[in-house]
């Protein structure tokens, strides 16, 4: 009865895995544990590596230190009892050329005894080593083993390249492989092709079904190094289709928001801008001029600007933001500048305010720390339009903030905000122009996915006269040396920052750390003025301390990471970071960017407290190796992985199954071109040839993006 049911069933990718031969209720549960419910899930569950069993070695030919696979039979099984009750399992494997011993130090005795019976065929993979203590020749510790059955009913897949999957306790690699084999053979052909033929031909992509089946079971002769790098045609096809759908989404979003959102075209390079340029104490760099050119072109359009501005710390983004804001004011509209922290908003305000005053432009700072009375007046001014430029934190996007006519929003230090905030500030006006600035340079691959619907400009040049910052590492035991160095700089009339880490578990603990360092410094340097700043202080207090430091009234500023972004004191030449190993790489780079802003040679002193974690070591090393924010960002992405990078998970980064943002940068570029071209030619996917694609795209989007109704 059951067999007829199975044969009558019309196969579908949505079939439950229970339909698959070899999957009983017990295994189904194990597969569920791996997140596999339907056949389709299994097809997407690709091997994490492969083992080439097409060239198995003879035991007699095994060499020390070389990863190999060989087959043989169990010749002997021994359990050695050692001191302190530690047992060792030794299995001797034999073929017609010799024997080798395979060993386990951790094992379940009863279970292993049942598995390893004399005469049973098996395939072993691992790296032979010499047993130096006993001179018994080669052995393999904790190898990978596939056991066959004596009657030969369990195939050992000798002579093929086999996939290795992540599996779960109770589900053997070999069983999982057998299930996958049945499933791929029976279902892969049901995967509908959706990539247009011309795109497939241009990019040498095999058909969808073939790509999936050959990714699971690579044909004989497939090059091992290609497989390892995920670069066989089959594998590339999977990466390609995933990234193509992602880029199609971005292309689609951009096309349709641009067309449907009427923006206000600005007249650029007006009177206020000319007056401002005359006030400026320096010339704009070539990069600043180029970027401003992009921005002005955008502002003149009748669709809203949606531009991302990248620039390393200290590259001069603030001036660019200000000129952009002034353009809005010149057009009779309001501008908003949003910063991630109170301190940075205050700094922006203090930096920009003198210019605005000279130009007769009314500017207002709005923070959540304001008294309700102050707040009321500010809100009124913003609503009535008496305020031209509002500067603030996320307080600017809260309920109750109404602009008279917001024409432009600049969002600084984007990585602290999510996509949602970007949209929230937009809603405070009717399709205002939006400029997003980020000081953490984002690796290009990530920018093309995370911000792929935006236009991108890069300030790739520093203001003139900047000197590279020299970075030095000291271990805790060398701390005095670092402090002596710092003292020498102060002797020359320079100033220094000393930064202490945030310890996430407790606020009081943080405070204790900075306070201790502050006390210690006062004791060490009795003739030096030491100031202290941290997030627990009142706004006025912080402003006074910063202003004093800027005016040179303090030589050393001890701080928590509140100074991470935006602080600008040209005479400060030393950035000493306590417990550097605890900081993230982007954060270290930001902190380092606080010095090297004037004409003096600057230093970053990293104090590391052993033992360092592997990641901690890599971060410190990356800092020593480079001052280039983009290189640092690439490193950061490598160390942390994309999910974690900048908290991308919450900021709308789609999860990628096949693609890897570091490995697949070229494919990201290609798919981006192909997808944007396709949307230009067929904006709503109406071409009969694109119907499969449209369906795949709709399925891909799910409820991820809200422009489904356009399709």
Task: Pick the binder of ligand ADP from 71, 125, 210, 318 (CB under 6 A).
Answer: 318
Choose the one of ligand ADP, Mg ion, none that binds residue 148, judging by a C-beta under 5 to 8 angstroms depending on kind: none
Q: Which residues pair with 388 in a beta bridge?
A: none
Task: Pick the binder of ligand ADP from 213, 272, 315, 421 (CB under 6 A).
Answer: 315
- Candidates 284-292, 335-343, 599-607, 682-690 — which segment interacts with ligand ADP by CB under 6 A? 284-292
> Does position 95 bind ligand ADP by CB under 6 A?
no
Task: Pick the binder of ligand ADP from 123, 295, 305, 313 (CB under 6 A).
Answer: 313
Choose the one of ligand ADP, Mg ion, none that binds residue 441, judging by a C-beta under 5 to 8 angstroms depending on kind: none
- Residues present in the chain in total: 711
> Does position 597 bind ligand ADP by CB under 6 A?
yes
Measured CA angle at 402 (ends 397, 408), to 5 deg: 70
How many CA atoms lie less than 13 Å away from 571 in the CB half-sphere? 16
**What does the alpha-carbon distance between residue 304 and residue 368 come to, in Å, rounded to a whole number?**
29
| Contact status, residue 587 vs residue 561, Cβ threshold 8 Å | yes
Which residues contact residue 281 at a Cβ distance below 8 angstroms, ignoring those fewer than 6 apart?
none
Task: Pick the binder of ligand ADP from 20, 43, 319, 530 (CB under 6 A).
Answer: 319
- Candidates 193-201, 312-320, 392-400, 414-422 — which segment interacts with ligand ADP by CB under 6 A? 312-320
> Does position 130 bind ligand ADP by CB under 6 A?
no
Choose the one of Mg ion, ligand ADP, none that binds residue 282, judging by a C-beta under 5 to 8 angstroms depending on kind: ligand ADP
Q: Helix or strand or coil: residue 338?
A: strand
**What does the alpha-carbon distance between residue 651 and residue 642 come to, in Å, rounded to a whole number?**
12
Between 206 and 566, CB nearer to Mg ion = 566
Buried b (16+ CB within 10 A) or exposed e, 216-226: bbbeeebeeee
> Does position 311 bind ligand ADP by CB under 6 A?
yes
| In the complex, minimum distance from the CB of residue 499 to ligand ADP, in angstroms, rounded to a whole number | 17
Which single residue is written with the structure tokens 């009339």?
493
Between 340 and 642, CB nearer to Mg ion = 340
Q: Write out the binding residues for ligand ADP, residues 174-213 only, by CB under 6 A.
A: none
**What does the alpha-carbon distance between residue 298 and residue 275 come to, in Å, rounded to a whole number?**
22
Choose the one of ligand ADP, Mg ion, none that binds residue 316, judging by a C-beta under 5 to 8 angstroms depending on kind: ligand ADP
Q: Which of 586, 554, 544 is nearest to 446 (CA)?
A: 586
Neighbours of 599 (CB within 10 A): 10
Contact set with Mg ion (CB under 5 A): 566
Please give the residue whose beta carbon sits closest to ligand ADP in the complex. Answer: 316
Choose the one of Mg ion, ligand ADP, none that binds residue 313, judging by a C-beta under 5 to 8 angstroms depending on kind: ligand ADP
| In the complex, minimum distance from the CB of residue 439 to Mg ion, in angstroms, rounded to a whole number | 6
| In the complex, minimum distance from the CB of residue 300 to ligand ADP, in angstroms, rounded to a whole number | 24
Which single residue is written with the structure tokens 């060398």?
478
| In the complex, minimum distance from the CB of residue 590 to ligand ADP, in angstroms, rounded to a whole number | 9
> Does position 288 bind ligand ADP by CB under 6 A?
yes
Between 163 and 566, CB nearer to Mg ion = 566
Helices (H), 300-443: 317-330, 342-359, 372-384, 419-426
Helices (H), 390-493: 419-426, 444-450, 479-491
Between 326 and 344, CB nearer to Mg ion = 344
Between 234 and 391, CB nearer to ligand ADP = 391
> Does position 285 bind ligand ADP by CB under 6 A?
yes
Between 68 and 559, CB nearer to Mg ion = 559
**What does the alpha-carbon distance between residue 533 and residue 519 come to, in Å, rounded to a whole number?**
13
Task: Pick the binder of ligand ADP from 72, 314, 441, 443 (CB under 6 A).
Answer: 314
> Does position 316 bind ligand ADP by CB under 6 A?
yes
> Does position 317 bind ligand ADP by CB under 6 A?
yes
Task: Pick the binder of ligand ADP from 105, 130, 172, 282 (CB under 6 A).
Answer: 282
**What does the alpha-carbon distance between residue 293 and residue 494 come to, in Å, rounded to a whole number?**
37
| In the complex, minimum distance from the CB of residue 313 to ligand ADP, in angstroms, rounded to a whole number | 4
Choose the one of ligand ADP, Mg ion, none that binds residue 361, judging by a C-beta under 5 to 8 angstroms depending on kind: none
| Contact status, residue 398 vs residue 317, Cβ threshold 8 Å | no
| Contact status, residue 82 vs residue 191, Cβ threshold 8 Å | no
Q: How many angstroms separate the Cα of 469 from the Cα of each of 591, 592, 601, 619, 628?
A: 12, 8, 7, 17, 10
| Run of H or E residues at 637 | helix 629-640
Choose the one of Mg ion, ligand ADP, none that binds residue 285, judging by a C-beta under 5 to 8 angstroms depending on kind: ligand ADP
> Does position 439 bind ligand ADP by CB under 6 A?
yes
Q: Which of 399, 565, 552 is nearest to 490 (CA)?
A: 552
Please give the residue whose beta carbon sits closest to Mg ion in the complex. Answer: 566
> Does position 579 bind ligand ADP by CB under 6 A?
no
Neighbours of 138 (CB within 10 A): 18
User: Backbone phi, then psi, for 443, in 5-degree steps?
Assistant: -55, 145
Between 197 and 465, CB nearer to ligand ADP = 465
Longest dimension (CA), the chain: 95
Q: How many angstroms separate the Cα of 18 from the Cα of each of 26, 200, 454?
A: 10, 34, 45
| In the complex, minimum distance from the CB of residue 487 to ligand ADP, in angstroms, rounded to a whole number | 26
Tokens of 562: 């509140």
Between 317 and 579, CB nearer to ligand ADP = 317
Between 570 and 701, CB nearer to ligand ADP = 570
| In the complex, minimum distance from the CB of residue 602 to ligand ADP, in angstroms, rounded to a whole number | 13
Q: Which residues pair with 472 in a beta bridge?
A: 605
Q: Helix or strand or coil: residue 350?
A: helix
- Contact residues for ligand ADP (CB under 6 A)? 282-285, 288, 311, 313-319, 439, 463, 568, 597
């Amino acid at each position: 009865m059951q067999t007829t049911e199975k044969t009558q069933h019309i196969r579908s990718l949505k079939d439950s895995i229970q339909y698959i031969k070899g999957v009983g209720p017990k295994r189904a549960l194990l597969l569920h544990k791996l997140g596999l419910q339907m056949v389709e899930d299994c097809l997407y569950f690709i091997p994490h590596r492969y083992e080439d069993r097409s060239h198995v070695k003879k035991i007699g030919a095994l060499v020390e230190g070389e990863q190999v696979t060989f087959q043989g039979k169990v010749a002997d099984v021994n359990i050695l009892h050692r001191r302190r009750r530690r047992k060792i399992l030794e299995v001797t494997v034999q073929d017609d050329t010799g024997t080798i011993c395979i060993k386990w130090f951790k094992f379940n005795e009863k279970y292993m005894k049942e598995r390893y019976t004399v005469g049973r065929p098996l395939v072993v993979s691992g790296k032979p080593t010499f047993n130096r203590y006993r001179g018994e020749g080669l052995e393999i510790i904790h190898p990978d083993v596939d056991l066959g059955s004596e009657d030969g009913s369990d195939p050992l897949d000798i002579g093929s390249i086999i996939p290795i999957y992540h599996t779960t306790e109770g589900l053997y690699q070999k069983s999982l492989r057998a299930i996958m084999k049945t499933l791929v053979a029976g279902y892969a052909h049901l995967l509908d092709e959706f990539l247009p033929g011309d795109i497939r031909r241009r990019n040498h992509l095999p058909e969808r079904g073939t790509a999936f089946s050959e990714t699971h079971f690579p044909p004989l002769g497939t090059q091992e190094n290609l497989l390892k790098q995920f670069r066989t045609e089959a594998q590339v096809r999977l990466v390609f289709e995933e990234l193509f759908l992602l880029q199609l989404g971005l292309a689609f979003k951009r096309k349709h928001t641009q067309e449907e959102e009427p923006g206000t075209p600005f007249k650029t390079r007006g009177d206020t801008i000319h007056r401002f340029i005359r006030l400026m104490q320096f010339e704009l760099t070539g990069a600043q001029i180029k970027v401003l050119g992009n921005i002005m072109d955008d502002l003149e359009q009748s669709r809203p600007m949606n531009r991302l501005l990248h620039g390393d710390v200290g590259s001069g983004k603030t001036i660019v933001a200000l000129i952009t804001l002034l353009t809005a004011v010149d057009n009779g509209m309001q501008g908003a500048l949003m910063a991630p922290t109170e301190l940075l908003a205050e700094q922006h305000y203090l930096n920009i305010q003198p210019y605005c005053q000279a130009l007769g432009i009314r500017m207002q700072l709005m923070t959540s720390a304001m008294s309700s009375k102050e707040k009321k007046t500010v809100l009124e001014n913003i609503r009535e339009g008496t305020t031209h430029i509002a500067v603030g934190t996320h307080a600017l996007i809260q309920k109750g903030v109404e602009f008279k006519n917001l024409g432009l929003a600049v969002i600084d230090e984007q990585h602290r905000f999510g996509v949602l905030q970007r949209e929230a500030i937009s809603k405070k006006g009717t399709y205002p122009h939006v400029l997003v600035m980020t000081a953490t340079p984002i690796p290009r691959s990530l920018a093309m996915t995370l911000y792929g619907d935006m236009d991108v400009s890069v300030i790739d040049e520093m203001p003139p006269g900047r000197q590279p910052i020299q970075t030095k590492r000291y271990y805790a035991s060398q701390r005095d040396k670092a402090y002596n160095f710092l003292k020498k700089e102060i002797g020359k009339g320079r100033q220094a920052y000393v930064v202490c880490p945030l310890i996430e578990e407790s606020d009081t603990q943080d405070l204790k750390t900075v306070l201790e360092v502050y006390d210690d410094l006062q004791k060490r340097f009795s003739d030096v003025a030491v100031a202290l700043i941290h997030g627990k202080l009142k706004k006025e207090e912080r402003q006074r301390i910063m202003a004093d430091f800027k005016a040179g009234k303090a030589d050393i500023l001890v701080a928590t990471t509140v100074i991470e972004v935006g602080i600008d004191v040209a005479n400060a030449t030393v950035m000493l970071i306590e417990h550097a190993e605890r900081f993230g790489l982007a954060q270290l780079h930001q902190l380092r960017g606080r010095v090297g802003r004037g004409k003096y040679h600057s230093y970053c002193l990293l104090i590391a407290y052993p033992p360092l974690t592997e990641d901690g070591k890599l971060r410190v090393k990356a800092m020593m190796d480079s001052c280039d924010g983009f290189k640092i960002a690439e490193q950061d992405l490598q160390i942390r992985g994309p999910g974690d990078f900048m908290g991308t998970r919450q900021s709308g980064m789609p999860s990628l199954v096949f693609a890897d943002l570091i490995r697949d940068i070229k494919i990201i570029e290609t798919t981006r071109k192909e997808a944007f071209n396709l949307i230009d030619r067929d904006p709503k996917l109406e071409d009969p040839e694109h119907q499969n694609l449209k369906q795949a795209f709709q399925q891909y989007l799910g409820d991820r993006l809200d422009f489904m109704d356009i399709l």
